[in-house]
Structure 1
Amino acid sequence: MTARFNHTIIAAKDTAEMAQFYRELLEANDLPAWGPFLNLSIGEGVMLQFAAPPMEFSPNHFAYLLDDAHFDCALATIRNRGYERWADPQRTRPGEINNEHDGRGVYLLDPAGHYLELITQPYL
């Protein structure tokens, strides 16, 4: 069997706020919640599980591949909500997007402080 990515747990002190953010930005769908997990589904059956960690956590980086129409909608949401955004992971180009890898990309932080990258073309 070829390995495929199935799910990840994303640490968040406010799981409801995080779920709402991801629903709006990634057009994620609700899944049944259980235990400490508030669950959403994105493309190809990947599950995002939000849970409050028992300790402090370091921010992670999550990159999401979007088609052009979804990127346009996500970018409009980012702008309308006034979220800070950058064209680069070093955050030296605020308010911009990039046109790298024959596509478009943008970086932002989610409500828990995790780094998000939205791209329209994979790197490889």
Structure 2
Amino acid sequence: MTAQLDHTIVHSSDRFASARFLTGLLGEPEPGAYGPFATVPLGNGVTIDYADSIVDRDRIVMQHLAFLVSEDEFDGIFSRIVERGLPYWGGPEHQEPQQINHRHHGRGVYVDDPDGHSIEFITHPYVKEE
């Protein structure tokens, strides 16, 4: 298959606040603007496009975004999470509060963005069990 993900749209209560939350953790510059979106470009050419939701914040459906990062990038991201006093978890359902995990031959951490979207940072792709 030759299909590649180009972009995904994430609904938010404030597109630039949500995009800045992500770029801030990643240590990247300010998000861009493209039409009604605040855009966060990623290293593989994919963009995360944040859109202001046309529904109430309470009706925004949570999404899960997982980012594969290097060990050095993880160190930087994790230090920014701690510096900001953000709650974080070692598990996807808020298990292991204020811990990182060491699953799949790497490290991982989960944090919620301002709208409750689950953001995961991992240093190694998931190992598929045969």
TM-score exceeds 0.5: yes
Partner of 1:71: 74
The verdict on how the C-alpha distance between 1:99 and 1:32 changes in structure 2, with shifts beyond 3 A counting, is closer
Contact residue 6 and residue 47 of structure 1 kept, 8 A: yes
Distance in 1 between the 2:45 and 2:112 partners?
Answer: 24
TM-score by length of 1: 0.92
The verdict on how the C-alpha distance between 1:116 and 1:32 changes in structure 2, with shifts beyond 3 A counting, is closer
- Off by >3 Å, runs of 4+ in structure 1: 27-32
Distance in 2 between the 1:96 and 1:66 partners?
Answer: 18
Alpha-carbon shift at residue 111 of structure 1 (Å): 1.1
RMSD, aligned CA: 1.6
For residue 93 of structure 1, what is the amino acid of its counterpart? E
Partner of 1:99: 102
Alpha-carbon shift at residue 118 of structure 1 (Å): 0.7
Contact residue 29 and residue 42 of structure 1 kept, 8 A: no
Distance in 1 between the 2:109 and 2:9 partners?
Answer: 23
Distance in 1 between the 2:103 and 2:31 partners?
Answer: 34
The verdict on how the C-alpha distance between 1:8 and 1:28 changes in structure 2, with shifts beyond 3 A counting, is farther
Distance in 2 between the 1:86 and 1:52 partners?
Answer: 27
TM-score by length of 2: 0.88
- 1:59 paired with 2:31, answer no
Partner of 1:37: 37
Alpha-carbon shift at residue 30 of structure 1 (Å): 5.1
Distance in 2 between the 1:27 and 1:41 partners?
Answer: 12
Unmatched 5+ stretches in structure 1: none
